[in-house]
Structure 1
């Protein structure tokens, strides 16, 4: 306790020069440059995260389209890339396209 009070009295007696305690112009410049570097890193990180999210969305869409195509193929329906059925060809039936008369009737 006696040591603490002695240090307090000694500290009150000493005057200090504020110019030797403050960081000065160089401290401000270095702090500003660190702030700019951190800001650029944050912007780059946000850009990379956004790009990754877009890639994930596109991959999910492609997987969904592939699943839909497999389901449609299993059901016997043929779809184009947009997921819609193509227009029916004239003369086409569920069994296949109309091939015309068979050989027996052609004689």
Structure 2
């Protein structure tokens, strides 16, 4: 048993200190700029996607109104509450 104790005592334990200073491990200015660019691009992408979805929905509503008028059905038009802006948004493209 003394041989095992001698081997264990002779084995060095790993040191908890790092050879690299903590300053060198941080992402720094380059990391901040990269994350900021990704955040800005994500926000622009979400705004563009929302605009396209809204435009598609408005166009579908107008298409339904035109088809209903072509069939001779009575459509609400500007009398619908909250939907007076439909024609304005679709004209912008």
Aligned counterpart for 1:67 among listed residues 51, 66, 71? 71
Aligned counterpart for 1:20 among listed residues 16, 24, 34? 24
Of structures 1 and 2, the one with the larger relative CO (CA 8 A, separation 6+) is: 2
Mapped pair 1:37 → 2:57: no
Q: TM-score, normalised by structure 2?
A: 0.58
User: What is the number of equivalent residue pairs in this alignment?
Assistant: 63
Stretches of 4+ aligned residues off by more than 4 angstroms: none
The two structures, once aligned, show a CA RMSD in angstroms of: 2.2
Could you say which residue in structure 1 is the equivalent of 2:80?
none
Aligned counterpart for 1:55 among listed residues 39, 59, 62? 59
Deviation string, structure 1 residues 41-74 (Cα, Å, up to 9, x no partner): 11011111111001000000011111126xxxxx
Unaligned runs of 5+ in 1: 1-5, 70-81, 83-107
Shift in Å, 1:17:
1.2
Q: TM-score, normalised by structure 1?
A: 0.51
